[in-house]
Amino acid sequence: MLQLGTKVVIVADQFEQNLPVGEYGYIIAYDRNADNVFDYVLRVPSANRNFLIPDEDVELEEVLIQEEIDRIEREALIDFALATHNEELFKRIMNGDEPEQEQDLAGKEPQSPADFIRQVNLKAWI
């Protein structure tokens, strides 16, 4: 449960209430009615209204900012790996930072940088 006064961003409109998706708001009350699907009363300053809203439709602003930072960082690392022809870094980023198995490397021949770029361009084309 989020604290009162917490700044949140509306990320969905699950019950089609014409919520201003993408706008921020502040939690001003809890809806404690057990028969109701709504969890919070949200004040949205840009709409100058209060909305009843379920927990799934809002996300903390800090969480969204951190997700965006992670996405941008990953894209920058991919661009850097491609620009510097760093195959090891590229594979580690694309495989989710999992360490490579040495057994897999023993059976494969080393790949030339030109073949690596050709393979990346082929995957990007698909």
Q: What is the pLDDT of residue 102?
A: 46
pLDDT tens digits, residue range 79-88? 999 999 988 8
Q: Which residues of 77-96 are buried (b: 16+ CB within 10 A; e: fewer)?
A: eeeebbeeebbeebebbeee
Q: In this structure, how many other beta carbons lie within 10 angstroms of the beta carbon of residue 39?
A: 19
Share of the chain above pLDDT 70, in %: 89
Q: What is the pLDDT of residue 27?
A: 94
pTM metric for this prediction: 0.61
Going along the chain from its start, the domains and CATH numbers come out as 7-61 (2.30.30.40), 84-125 (no CATH)
Contact 8, 58 (CB under 8 A): yes
